[in-house]
Structure 1
Amino acid sequence: MERRCTPLRVSSIGRYVSYMAPERQRGNEIGPTGLTVAFNLRRLRTSAGLDLRLMSKRLSDLGRPISPAALSRIENLERRVDSDDLVVMALALEVNPNALLLPPTGHPAKVIELGPTVRVNADEAWRWARGEHTIGTDAAGRTAMEEALEVAPGTPAAERWAIIRELLEAEHMKFRARVTPGTPSDAGPSVSDDPGGDRG
């Protein structure tokens, strides 16, 4: 079967400027986050003084074996990283998953592409990743503004802005509730009770 290649639109990070990715049947190309993960994997691995063989050994020791050749393919955008790979890579590199998922800049003058239709300032992306606020803040602000403008005519501007701030804070609190760990009865398939009991 003939193997077609298609240009992959990339950001100007590291060496990934003119890469041609094999076309996938009915699938998505590696997107901006995949590019960032590949870039950060190489960056963090080399800064830790790990060659591909040592990185592979660390992953194997953590129960997620990935061969040196497979790691090279990931760094060269020839293989995708799934969520299990990413978490164990972060453990092996002694960083958090965000360090792999986002570019290493929080400068407000830089723009990060999170998806095909989502581009935000770097500092906003990092605040979102840390669970500090939702990317939809701007949309929430527009909604709040529209609701504030429906207040009876003649309402002082200061009062309208107070309403907007209150609505934005409510949106922020709902976001925090969604992303902050709680104590649900069913925490998911990877969670179990600590046999050691309460060590607090």
Structure 2
Amino acid sequence: MADEKRRPRPAAQYGPTAALVARNVERLRKTRNLTIYSLSAELGKAGRPITPSAIAKIEKMQRQVNVDDLLALAVVFGVSPAALLLPLEDSPRHTAEITGAGAVPADSAWAWASNKRPLKFPPGEQRTAEMEYALASLPPNAREARQHPAGRAIEAAYEDVTRVIVRAAWSVEGDEHEFIDALDQARASLERTLAELGRLAVEHEELVRLRDGVPREGSD
């Protein structure tokens, strides 16, 4: 009926990711020393205008951010979209609440968001899951580099060096053995990386020799 009062629109249902986006928008805005008015102006320049009142509502969790807003905000803030989607914490001792996955180790959440590895995989099937993840998630050049033995060695070395740096801080609190073990593992990973890069260089030299028809030294 015409005289019936219009029912109020139900409040948006905020999941953990939407709530994180709201907090991260406010955090990054303040980090960049932007008011809601100056942020609105920058978004307008970027071709994705959001009014100051809408920005205030985003931060108060009264207005959700859609994907186009999210990317425009990331561009204006000068960050990866992941910086809006995840908490500013990547210690394995902390967890991140991911919509659809629940609580996961914070470092795993960031590795997933950074296109490094799947968020979860069945026990004993890590290698298969990582290959399928690379096939579905990465563009051709990044996928080829990730699947090459040298690329895998570099990825592993990066993970191990990161672990050393983290445990260096923990060792001050008494975890000295963890730091030493991580340091040994990182050294071994770096040695494997150098070995794989050496093999890659030899393979490349062989391909160039075959292309140019240069006989191998010592051959008739």
Distance of 1:71 and 1:130 partners within structure 2: 26
Which amino acid is the alignment partner of residue 34 of structure 1? Answer: A
In the alignment, structure 1 residue 178 sits paired with structure 2 residue 136: yes
Taking only the aligned residue pairs, the percentage that are identical comes to 32
Alignment partner for residue 94 of structure 2, among 103, 110, 114?
Answer: 110
Alignment partner for residue 27 of structure 2, among 25, 32, 43?
Answer: 43
Which amino acid is the alignment partner of residue 79 of structure 2? Answer: V
In the alignment, structure 1 residue 80 sits paired with structure 2 residue 49: no
Highest CA radius of gyration, 1 or 2?
2
| Structure number with higher helix proportion | 2
| SS in structure 1 of the partner of residue 96 of structure 2 | strand
**Correspondence for 1:31:** 15
Distance of 1:112 and 1:96 partners within structure 2: 17
In structure 1, stretches of 5+ residues that fail to align are 4-21, 145-166, 184-200
1:127 CA drift (Å)? 0.7
Change (3 A) 1:117 1:91: closer
Count of residue pairs brought into register by the alignment: 136
In the alignment, structure 1 residue 125 sits paired with structure 2 residue 109: yes
In the alignment, structure 1 residue 168 sits paired with structure 2 residue 126: yes
Q: TM-score, normalised by structure 1?
A: 0.64
Distance of 1:23 and 1:56 partners within structure 2: 26
In the alignment, structure 1 residue 56 sits paired with structure 2 residue 40: yes
| SS in structure 2 of the partner of residue 95 of structure 1 | coil
CA deviation vs aligned residue, 1:46-87 (integer Å, no higher than 9, x gap): 110100111001100010000000000000000010000000
| SS in structure 2 of the partner of residue 112 of structure 1 | strand
Of 84-93 and 114-123, deviating more is: 114-123
Alignment partner for residue 99 of structure 1, among 64, 67, 83?
Answer: 83
Alignment partner for residue 65 of structure 1, among 49, 52, 55?
Answer: 49
1:170 CA drift (Å)? 2.1
Q: TM-score, normalised by structure 2?
A: 0.58
Runs of 4+ in 1 over 6 A off after TM superposition: none
Distance of 2:106 and 2:116 partners within structure 1: 14
1:2 CA drift (Å)? 5.4
- What is the aligned-residue RMSD (CA, Å)? 1.8
Distance of 2:94 and 2:120 partners within structure 1: 18
Which amino acid is the alignment partner of residue 132 of structure 2? Answer: K
